[in-house]
């Protein structure tokens, strides 16, 4: 077990873990939204299967324009989208077929003249502008070719992917099984939502419901266990229950070094299953990571800010890998517009507002309070700013570049 390690070392350890997906299942198309794709999606045919019109216009053959740029064309008829009959443009004299958006380009036609660029009189048309060959036409296979990979295994499916899968007539989609995540919160002072506070020392189960939402956000299946009191027997019993029922366990509280920190005590007893305990960061230095009974376990600190930050920095990656994906955080290098003080020697992840101003990323700390306070409003900006974690190894001055992890 590694103890009180640097953040970089903790990251190396996480990345080196051998964690496979839990399984594969077939789900209905809509149920695949937000899931991790388990098989590459490959085109089974060209799309479109034949040349299609990109707009309403008239299909003609360019050879008649080469002979006479002012050539008149006789209109033979209409070719609507979905036309079940093959449309053929005769070539023995200049003909045109009115062809609507999405319709198959008639055989022998290689130019589509938009309706805005022609003059029609009775059954005859004359071009006001001469389009290029192939212009305004979606050629066969222009979207994709048969055998082309369209979505890669391991991608988390969004609404755009669902639309593409629908175009491929995919009724069912193979995705990785979602990890079951047990959430344990510990503390005599905690009340469940809906309970009445008995005194000013009581606080509501913020961390439990925060973690439920975080697990859902990241594709897991949360199971929130009843609040645990500060007794070693109850904590140990619930840890063992969660290990039997879940793939990943997140505990909040009891991870420090006090008399009632029973997660820390359990970690000490199961030292041979510990991966690391303690990382030199602020907030969240008392985080622990273990393989209890072959299951993934994180002991997160009890302050809500610390719980949130350590979930983002550590537990999130393991959850994604259990779900069959791989999470890559978005990091930005941003020029500071203000001085930032720092006295603690630990690597600090300070919450900040991230804004895109005139195409450039900027950060500020407006409305952000001391991380020592057990508050979450630091992460709930009153305006449209993004949340970010500004990574500070020392005090910084105006004009210096800082690394920012975007929280989205």
Same domain? For 169 and 255 the reply is no
Query: In angstroms, rounded to a whole number, what is the distance separating the alpha carbons of residues 301 and 324?
Result: 27
Residue 58 domain boundaries:
52-138
Q: How much is the average pLDDT of 170-199?
A: 92
Percent of the chain at pLDDT > 70 equals 96
Domain of 71: which CATH number?
2.170.190.11
Which tens digit of pLDDT belongs to each residue from 32-49?
Answer: 999 999 999 999 999 999
Whether the per-residue pLDDT at 392 is higher than 90: the answer is yes
Q: How much is the pLDDT for 256?
A: 60
The owner of tokens 């990943």 is 248
Alpha-carbon distances, residue 1 vs 10, 205, 278, 341 (angstroms):
12, 31, 10, 34
Same domain? For 77 and 124 the reply is yes
Query: In angstroms, rounded to a whole number, what is the distance separating the alpha carbons of residues 404 and 351?
Result: 9
Q: pLDDT-based confidence at 253, cuts 50/70/90?
A: confident
Which tens digit of pLDDT belongs to each residue from 234-251?
Answer: 999 999 999 999 999 999
Same domain? For 162 and 279 the reply is no
Which tens digit of pLDDT belongs to each residue from 293-319?
Answer: 999 999 999 899 999 999 999 999 999
Q: How much is the pLDDT for 229?
A: 83
Same domain? For 261 and 316 the reply is yes
Does residue 208 sit in helix, strand or coil? helix
Bridging pattern class, strands 221-224 and 41-42:
unpaired
Contact 308, 376 (CB under 8 A): yes
Neighbours of 406 (CB within 10 A): 14
Across the chain, mean pLDDT equals 92
Tokens of 259: 């008399």
Q: b/e map of 11-48 (b: 16 or more CB within 10 Å)?
A: eebbeeeebebbeeeeeeeeebebbbbbeebebeebbb
218 within domain boundaries? yes
137 or 85: which leads in pLDDT: 137
Contact 348, 285 (CB under 8 A): no
Query: In angstroms, rounded to a whole number, what is the distance separating the alpha carbons of residues 407 and 335?
Result: 18
143 within domain boundaries? no
255 within domain boundaries? yes
Does residue 41 sit in helix, strand or coil? strand
Same domain? For 249 and 382 the reply is no
Same domain? For 171 and 182 the reply is no
Number of H helices, E strands in the chain: 8, 27
Domain of 279: which CATH number?
3.40.980.10
Whether the per-residue pLDDT at 372 is higher than 80: the answer is no
216 within domain boundaries? yes
Contact 59, 51 (CB under 8 A): no
Whether the per-residue pLDDT at 254 is higher than 80: the answer is no
184 within domain boundaries? yes
Q: How much is the average pLDDT of 27-35?
A: 97
Tokens of 231: 């007794």
Q: How much is the pLDDT for 257?
A: 56
Q: How much is the average pLDDT of 18-30?
A: 96
Q: How much is the average pLDDT of 371-400?
A: 87
Q: How much is the pLDDT for 12?
A: 96
Neighbours of 280 (CB within 10 A): 15
Same domain? For 19 and 35 the reply is no
Look at the chain and report how many structural domains it folds into.
Answer: 4
Percent of the chain at pLDDT > 90 equals 80
Apex 391 CA angle, 386 and 396, nearest 5? 105
Domain of 169: which CATH number?
3.90.105.10
33 within domain boundaries? yes
Same domain? For 188 and 58 the reply is no
DSSP sequence for 143-193: SB-TT-EEE-TTPBP-HHHHHHHHHTT-SEEEEEPPPEEEEEEB-TTEE-T
Total residue length of the chain: 408
Burial of 193 by CB count in 10 Å (0-12 exposed, 13-18 middle, 19+ buried)? exposed
Which tens digit of pLDDT belongs to each residue from 280-289?
Answer: 999 999 999 9
Domain boundary among 91, 113, 138: 138
Same domain? For 160 and 246 the reply is no
Domain boundary among 261, 289, 323: 323
Whether the per-residue pLDDT at 141 is higher than 60: the answer is yes
- Ramachandran assignment for 187, one of left (phi > 0), alpha (psi -120 to 50 degrees), beta (any other): left
Q: How much is the average pLDDT of 333-346?
A: 94
145 within domain boundaries? no
* Single pTM value for the model: 0.88
The owner of tokens 């610390």 is 306
Query: In angstroms, rounded to a whole number, what is the distance separating the alpha carbons of residues 222 and 58?
Result: 58
Query: In angstroms, rounded to a whole number, what is the distance separating the alpha carbons of residues 24 and 301?
Result: 33
Same domain? For 186 and 300 the reply is yes
Domain of 343: which CATH number?
2.40.340.10
Which tens digit of pLDDT belongs to each residue from 166-176?
Answer: 999 999 999 99
Domain boundary among 293, 323, 353: 323
Q: pLDDT-based confidence at 187, cuts 50/70/90?
A: confident
Burial of 103 by CB count in 10 Å (0-12 exposed, 13-18 middle, 19+ buried)? buried
Same domain? For 7 and 86 the reply is no
Contact 51, 138 (CB under 8 A): yes
254 or 372: which leads in pLDDT: 254
Same domain? For 283 and 309 the reply is yes
Q: pLDDT-based confidence at 265, cuts 50/70/90?
A: confident
195 secondary structure, DSSP code: P
Tokens of 205: 């189960």
148 or 84: which leads in pLDDT: 148
Alpha-carbon distances, residue 15 vs 33, 193, 327, 406 (angstroms):
26, 37, 11, 20
146 within domain boundaries? no
Query: In angstroms, rounded to a whole number, what is the distance separating the alpha carbons of residues 189 and 74?
Result: 87
Q: How much is the average pLDDT of 333-352?
A: 94
Q: How much is the average pLDDT of 152-156?
A: 97
Q: How much is the pLDDT for 374?
A: 55
């Amino acid at each position: 077990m590694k103890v009180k390690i640097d953040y970089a070392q903790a990251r190396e350890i996480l990345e080196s873990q051998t964690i496979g997906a839990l399984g594969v299942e077939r789900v209905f198309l809509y149920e695949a939204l937000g899931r991790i794709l388990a098989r590459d999606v490959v085109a089974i045919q060209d799309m479109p299967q034949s040349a299609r019109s990109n707009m309403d216009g008239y299909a003609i053959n360019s050879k008649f324009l080469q002979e006479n740029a002012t050539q008149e064309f006789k209109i033979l008829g209409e070719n609507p989208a979905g036309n079940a009959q093959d449309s053929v443009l005769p070539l023995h004299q200049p003909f045109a077929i009115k062809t609507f958006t999405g319709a198959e380009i008639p055989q022998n036609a290689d130019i589509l003249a938009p309706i805005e660029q022609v003059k029609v009189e009775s059954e005859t048309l004359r071009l006001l502008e001469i389009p290029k060959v192939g212009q305004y036409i979606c050629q066969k296979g222009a979207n994709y070719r048969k055998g082309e990979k369209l979505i890669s295994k391991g991608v988390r499916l969004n609404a755009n992917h669902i639309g593409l899968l629908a175009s491929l007539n995919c009724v069912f989609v193979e995705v990785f099984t979602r990890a079951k995540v047990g959430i344990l919160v510990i503390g005599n002072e905690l009340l469940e939502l809906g309970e009445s506070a008995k005194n000013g020392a009581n606080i509501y189960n913020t961390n439990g419901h925060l973690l439920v939402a975080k697990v859902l956000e990241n594709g897991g299946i949360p199971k929130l266990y009843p609040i645990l009191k500060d007794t070693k027997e109850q904590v140990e019993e619930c840890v063992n229950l969660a290990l039997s029922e879940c793939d990943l366990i997140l505990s909040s509280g009891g991870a420090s070094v006090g008399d009632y920190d029973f997660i820390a005590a359990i970690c000490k007893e199961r030292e041979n299953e510990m991966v690391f305990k303690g990382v030199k960061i602020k907030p969240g230095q008392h985080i622990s990571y273990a393989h209890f009974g072959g299951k993934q376990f994180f002991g997160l600190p009890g302050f809500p800010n610390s719980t949130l930050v350590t979930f983002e920095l550590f537990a999130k990656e393991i959850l994604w890998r259990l779900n069959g994906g791989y999470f890559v955080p978005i990091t930005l290098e941003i020029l500071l517009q203000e001085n930032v003080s720092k006295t603690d020697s630990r690597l600090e992840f300070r919450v900040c507002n991230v804004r895109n101003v005139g195409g450039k990323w900027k950060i500020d700390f407006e409305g952000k309070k001391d991380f020592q306070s057990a508050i979450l409003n630091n992460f709930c900006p009153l305006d449209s700013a993004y949340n970010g974690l500004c990574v500070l190894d020392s005090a910084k001055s105006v004009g210096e570049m800082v690394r920012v992890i975007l929280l989205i």
